[in-house]
C-alpha cells in the first residue's frame, strides 16, 4: 500500500463489549458532522460551546451543570440537517415560520438517548427569549443554561453576519447589543456572565478556527468524564443517523436500514457478536459526511454533473475523518469510510483494492447499495428484491462488490430485503426516469 496517500487503518481495535468510550469526546467529534450542514459555515456549535462554557465559569456553575452546558451547546442545532435552514438561522432572523421547530426536533432526538436526556430540555429552549412564558416550563437551572446557549448562539450569528472582519472590531457593538437585550431576550445573569467573560480579547481570538479546537479540547479534558458502553454508543449513533437521514425525504431511514442489513450480513458471514455490533454502528454513521452535500444536489431529479458528483464523493472521506478522531472508533471509521471502495481499486476516496478492504467494509458496501436500490430516489422508484440482486451481481462482475457477500444476499434474499425496507419509505409508482 502506498505510503504517500492517507488510508484508513485496518488493524483491529475499537470499542469492545466491555470497553467504554468518553461521551464528551465522541459528541465533540460527531459535532463536526453538524458543522457540515452549512457547508462553508464551520465550527458554529463549537464556538457556541466555548462561549457558553466561559459564561458558565463566570457564573461559577456546578460541574454537572457545566457538563450539560457543554453538550447542549455543541448539539444545540442537532435538529437541523437542511443547508437552507442552517444558513437562515445564522442570518439572525428568528421570526420566520417554524424557526423554533428545529429546537423541538433536536430535543426529541436527544431525549431518546438516556445520557443526554437532561441536555434535551436545554436544546428545546435554546431559542426561547428570557421574557417568554415558555421558559417557565423548565426548572430555573435548565432555563438559565438554555438562555446561555441562546445568547451565545445569537452572538455567533452576529459574528457570521460580519465574517471577514476582525472580530476585535465587532466586540464593542456586540457587547452593547447584549447589554441592551438584558431582561428581554436574555436573563440579567446570562448577560452579566457574558459581559465579564467577553471583556478579554482572548475570548474573541479563541473563536478563530486555528485556536478553537485546541481550546475546546482543553475545556473538555477539564470536565468530568462521562462514559458510555458499546451499546450506548450504538444508541448515540442512532441519533446521528436520524439527523443524517432527515436531510432529505429520499434518504429517510437509509442509515438505520443499512445498519440493520449490514449487521445481518455480518451474522451470515460468521462474524462475532462484537464485530457485528461495531458493523451496525458503522452502518448508522457511514453517511455522516453527507450532511455537507447541499440539499439541491441530494434531491436533484436528474443525473449529477461532474461538479455535483465531486461534492457527493467527499462524503465518505468526511465520515472517515470525523470518526477517526476518537481513538476507540478508528476501526469503525475505516469501515464506514470505505463503503464506496471497490475491489478493483476504482472506488473512492482511497482507491483501496482487494484485501485492503476489510470484510466488514465490503459487507457495508453491499448493504449500502442494496438499500439505496430498495428506496425511492428523485429519479426513480424503489426496486424489487430480484431486480436489486441482478444489479448486485453486475457490480460484482464490474469489480465493485464482493462476490461472497453478494452470495450471502442471494441465499437470504427475502430476509435482506426485509431488513432494507422494514422502515424505508415505499412508493407504489416509480418516479420519472432521469432525462
| Cα gap 153→378, rounded to integer Å | 34
Cell digits of residue 28:
465533540
CATH tag, 229-421: 1.10.3210.10
What would the 3-class secondary structure string for 51-71 be?
HHHHHHHHCCCCHHHHHHHHH
**With 0-12 CB in 10 A as exposed, 13-18 as middle and 19+ as buried, what is 312?**
middle
What would the 3-class secondary structure string for the chain be?
CCCCCCCCCCCCCCCCCCCCEEHHHHHHHHHHHHHHHHCCCCCHHHHHHHHHHHHHHHCCCCHHHHHHHHHHHHHCCCCCCCHHHHHHHHCCCCCCCCCCHHHHHHHHHHHCCHHHHHHHHHHHCCCCCCCCHHHHHCCHHHHHHHHHHHHHHHHHHHHHHCCCCCHHHCHHHHHHHHHHCECCCECHHHHHHHHHHCCCHHHHHCCCHHHHHHHHHHHHHHCCCCEECHHHHHHHHHHHHHHHHCCCHHHCCHHHHHHHHHHHHHHHCCCCHHHHHHHHHHHHHCCHHHHHCCHHHHCCCCCCCHHHHHHHHHHHHHHHHHHCCCHHHHHHHHHHHCCCCCCCCCCCCCCCCHHHCCHHHHHHHHHHHHHHHHCCECCECCCCHHHHHHHHHHHHHCCCCCHHHHHHHHHCHHHHHHHHHCCCCCCCCCCCCCC
pLDDT of residue 38: 61
Q: With CA atoms as reference, report the closest residue to 419 among 370, 365, 363.
A: 370
Q: Would you write out the chain's pLDDT as a tens digit for each of its 435 residues?
A: 333 334 444 434 445 556 788 888 898 888 888 877 766 667 889 999 999 999 999 999 999 999 999 999 999 988 877 777 767 777 766 666 566 888 999 999 999 998 899 899 999 999 999 999 888 889 999 999 999 999 999 999 898 877 777 889 889 999 999 999 999 999 999 999 999 999 999 999 999 988 998 998 888 777 778 888 888 899 999 999 988 888 776 677 899 999 999 999 999 999 999 999 999 999 999 999 888 887 778 777 778 888 888 888 889 999 999 999 888 899 999 999 999 999 999 999 999 999 999 999 999 999 999 999 998 877 788 899 999 999 999 999 999 999 999 999 999 999 999 999 986 443 333 333 322
pLDDT of residue 295: 75
| Cα gap 395→323, rounded to integer Å | 28
pLDDT of residue 426: 38
pLDDT of residue 285: 96
Answer for the pair 36, 240: CB distance below 8 angstroms, yes or no: no
Instruction: List, in order, residues 6 or more apart from 3 with CB less than 8 Å away.
Output: none
pTM of the model: 0.84
Q: Which CATH class is domain 23-227?
A: mainly alpha
The total of other beta-carbon atoms located within 10 Å of residue 404's CB is: 13
Which letter, b or e, does each residue of 381-398 get, where b requires 16 or more Cβ atoms within 10 Å of its Cβ?
ebbebeebbebbeebbee
Domain with CATH 1.10.3210.10 in the chain: 23-227, 229-421
Amino acid at each position: 500500500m502506498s505510503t504517500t496517500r492517507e488510508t484508513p487503518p485496518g488493524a483491529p481495535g475499537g470499542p469492545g463489549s466491555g470497553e467504554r468510550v468518553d461521551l464528551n469526546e465522541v459528541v465533540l467529534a460527531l459535532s463536526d458532522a453538524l458543522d457540515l450542514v452549512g457547508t462553508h459555515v464551520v465550527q458554529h456549535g463549537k464556538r457556541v460551546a466555548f462561549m457558553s462554557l466561559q459564561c458558565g465559569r463566570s457564573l461559577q456553575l456546578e460541574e454537572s451543570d457545566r457538563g450539560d452546558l457543554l453538550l447542549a451547546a455543541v448539539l444545540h442545532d442537532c435538529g437541523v440537517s437542511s443547508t437552507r435552514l442552517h444558513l437562515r438561522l445564522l442570518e439572525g432572523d428568528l421570526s420566520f415560520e417554524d424557526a423554533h421547530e428545529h429546537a423541538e426536533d433536536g430535543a426529541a432526538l436527544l431525549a431518546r438517548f438516556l445520557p443526554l436526556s437532561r441536555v434535551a430540555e436545554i436544546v428545546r429552549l435554546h431559542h426561547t427569549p428570557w421574557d417568554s412564558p415558555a421558559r417557565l416550563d423548565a426548572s430555573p437551572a435548565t432555563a438559565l443554561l438554555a438562555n446561555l446557549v441562546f445568547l451565545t448562539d445569537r452572538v455567533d450569528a452576529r459574528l457570521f453576519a460580519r465574517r471577514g472582519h476582525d472580530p476585535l472590531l465587532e466586540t464593542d457593538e456586540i457587547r452593547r447589543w447584549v447589554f441592551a437585550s438584558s431582561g428581554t431576550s436574555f436573563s440579567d445573569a446570562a448577560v452579566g456572565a457574558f459581559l465579564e467573560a467577553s471583556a478579554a480579547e482572548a475570548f474573541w481570538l479563541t473563536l478563530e478556527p486555528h485556536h478553537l479546537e485546541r481550546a475546546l479540547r482543553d475545556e473538555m479534558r477539564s470536565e468530568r468524564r462521562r462514559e458510555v458502553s458499546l451499546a450506548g454508543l450504538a444508541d448515540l449513533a442512532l441519533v446521528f443517523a436520524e439527523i443524517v437521514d432527515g436531510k432529505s425525504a429520499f434518504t429517510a431511514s437509509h442509515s438505520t436500514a443499512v445498519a440493520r442489513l449490514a449487521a445481518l450480513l455480518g451474522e451470515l458471514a460468521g462474524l462475532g457478536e462484537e464485530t457485528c455490533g461495531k458493523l451496525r454502528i458503522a452502518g448508522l454513521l457511514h453517511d455522516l459526511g453527507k450532511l455537507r452535500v447541499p440539499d439541491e444536489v441530494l434531491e436533484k431529479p436528474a443525473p449529477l454533473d461532474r461538479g455535483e458528483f465531486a461534492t457527493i464523493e467527499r462524503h465518505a472521506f468526511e465520515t472517515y475523518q470525523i470518526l477517526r478522531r476518537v481513538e476507540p472508533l478508528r476501526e469503525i471509521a475505516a469501515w464506514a469510510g470505505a463503503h464506496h471502495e471497490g475491489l478493483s481499486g476504482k472506488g473512492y476516496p482511497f482507491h483501496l483494492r482487494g484485501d485492503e478492504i476489510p470484510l466488514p467494509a465490503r459487507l457495508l458496501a453491499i448493504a449500502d447499495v442494496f438499500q439505496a436500490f430498495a428506496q425511492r430516489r428523485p429519479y426513480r422508484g424503489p426496486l424489487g428484491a430480484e431486480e436489486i440482486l441482478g444489479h448486485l451481481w453486475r457490480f460484482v462482475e464490474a469489480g465493485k462488490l464482493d462476490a461472497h457477500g453478494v452470495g450471502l444476499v442471494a441465499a437470504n434474499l427475502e430476509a435482506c430485503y426485509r431488513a432494507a425496507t422494514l422502515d424505508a419509505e415505499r412508493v407504489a409508482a416509480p418516479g420519472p426516469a432521469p432525462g
